[in-house]
Amino acid sequence: MQRTVSAQLALSVDDDATLAFIVAVAGRPTAERLDLRFEGAALQPREVTDAAGTRIHVVDVGAGAVTLDYAATVDGRADAASVTELEQLEYLRPSRYCEADRLAHTAHAEFSGLADADLLAAVSSWVGTRLSYVPGSSLPTDGAVQTLLAGQGVCRDYAHLVIGLLRSLDVPARLAAVYAPGLDPMDFHAVAEAYVEGAWHVVDATTLAPRSTLVRIATGRDAADTAFLSSYGGNVVLESILVSAVADVLPDDDVMRLERLG
């Protein structure tokens, strides 16, 4: 399978700032181009890679216009992500947006006795039927509990609720930011990953894109670790964003089938 992805961002900055972009494909794609500019002049970003393999591109700018143009081609499937005992413990803990401790009663009441593929399918279906996908319906500070109470959200909200429920059941779970061929409307996408049967497997309760086509950008405890843009210093306004992700084949997706992110 070949996948081609891209992202274009335009920002305005009102004072000196440090910008951290997470838009690059994790690992090393077949081909890649990243062009960052400040007031039309090329910038050379510093690339930092975190413990989960997320590639972060950092630049320092003054007041003015910043543009980012990224494109990559990924051929074939990535190797299965490894996991350490420390990671398993980390992804069992409650986190800012995934309040597993507050979801424990609901999780045990709904999913007691299920495990592995059956559990992932049940959680995915349960979240998918209880939430409505409504763009703009949630705040950046909303966590899984607020999402469940509101009954609506966007992809990151679906993923946070899935993660919180799974952690409540002692299943390591984490969030992945991805490019998603087939997604409509097209944007950056967020899904959950759960560690069952000796590997990380994707859970996407939105069912908006085939899981087998997804391309990993970032991995973390929740959205706090995976934002496509973080800024420090001057105020930053996102003027425009355009994301594209295309695969040479869009297979059917079966929620009962375990799928790796690759």
Q: Kindly report whether the peptide bond that precedes residue 45 is cis, defined as omega within 30 degrees of 0.
A: no
Distance of CA 248 to the CA centre of its chain: 22
Residue 26 · residue 20 · CB < 8 Å: no
Per-residue pLDDT tens digits for 151-195: 999 999 999 999 999 999 999 999 999 999 999 999 999 999 999
Buried (b) or exposed (e) across 151-161, using 16+ Cβ within 10 A?
eebbbbbbbbb
Per-residue pLDDT tens digits for 213-262: 999 999 999 999 999 999 999 899 999 999 999 999 888 888 889 999 87
**Identity of residue 209:** A
CATH architecture, domain 2-76+229-245: Sandwich (2.60)
Location of each CATH 2.60.40.2250 domain in the chain: 2-76+229-245
- If you average pLDDT over every residue of the chain, what do you get? 95
Which segments within the chain are labelled E, that is strand? Answer: 2-13, 17-21, 31-38, 41-43, 46-49, 55-61, 64-75, 132-133, 152-153, 173-179, 189-196, 199-203, 215-220, 229-233, 236-247
pLDDT at 251: 87
The token pair that represents 232 in the structure block: 């420090």
Location of each CATH 3.10.620.30 domain in the chain: 85-226
The token pair that represents 98 in the structure block: 């995934």
The token pair that represents 126 in the structure block: 């349960």
Domain 85-226 has CATH 3.30.470.10: no
Using the Cα atoms of residue 217, residue 157, residue 192 and residue 222 in order, give the sign of their dihedral. Answer: positive
Closest residue by Cα to residue 157 from 136, 173, 172, 187: 136
Per-residue pLDDT tens digits for 55-102: 999 999 999 999 999 999 999 887 777 788 999 999 999 999 999 999
